[in-house]
Amino acid sequence: MLIGLWAGRKLIAGTLMTDKTLLKRTLVIGLVIAFPASLWLKQLGGLNVFSDYSANGLYSVIAYSLAVFPMGLAYAAGFALLWFKKSYWFIIFAAPGRMALTNYLSQTLISIIIFYGLGFGLGMRGAPMSLLFIALIILVLQIGYSALWLKYFRFGPVEWLWRCMTYGKLIPIRYVNR
């Protein structure tokens, strides 16, 4: 929470994305912490939320925390640094970014159906590369769907609903002069 508060203040001040030294340090430190923690987590057998309380469970939670959060910060810093160099590669993510909540919720629903026992249950049976391939297909479909949707509408459907609830009135979802 404190990292988010700090980053938000720097973002509002306009200095977060322009501080390349900070971004490079965040990338390096995040990777230096996350890679060994990821290997430690793998050695511990991963994070099993269904296991009994044990020292191994505690260690796996610690390893998970040290792997996931620094890696997330490293990814964010890495993407920001790439944005300065090759921003034209990231334009395909503009439409899904404008529909982030819609895509998050739909990806969650689709993934539950495909990967968990409520649907096909492929998460426990599939090879990691095949599961990655399925996830990439979902991502590509969402990129295409988002771009198509935003040709006709100003907001994603869930973003529109959220705005209507926030402002307490119906906001036009369609473009006015199209």
47 contacts 41 by C-beta, under 8 angstroms: yes
Angle CA 42–44–45, to nearest 5: 65
Alpha helical stretches, state H, 44-167: 55-86, 94-98, 100-115, 122-125, 128-152, 157-167
Alpha-carbon distance of 154 to 33, in angstroms, equals: 41
> What's the token pair of residue 48?
């099993």
**Would you tell me how many other CB atoms lie within 10 Å of the CB of residue 2?**
6
Instruction: Report the number of secondary-structure helices (H) and strands (E) in the chain.
Output: 8, 0
Using DSSP, state whether 35 is helix, strand or coil: helix
pLDDT in single tens digits along all 178 residues of the chain? 777 676 667 766 776 677 788 889 999 999 999 999 999 988 888 776 666 677 778 888 889 999 999 999 899 888 888 877 777 777 888 899 999 999 999 999 998 888 887 777 777 776 778 878 988 999 999 999 999 999 999 999 999 999 999 999 999 999 877 6
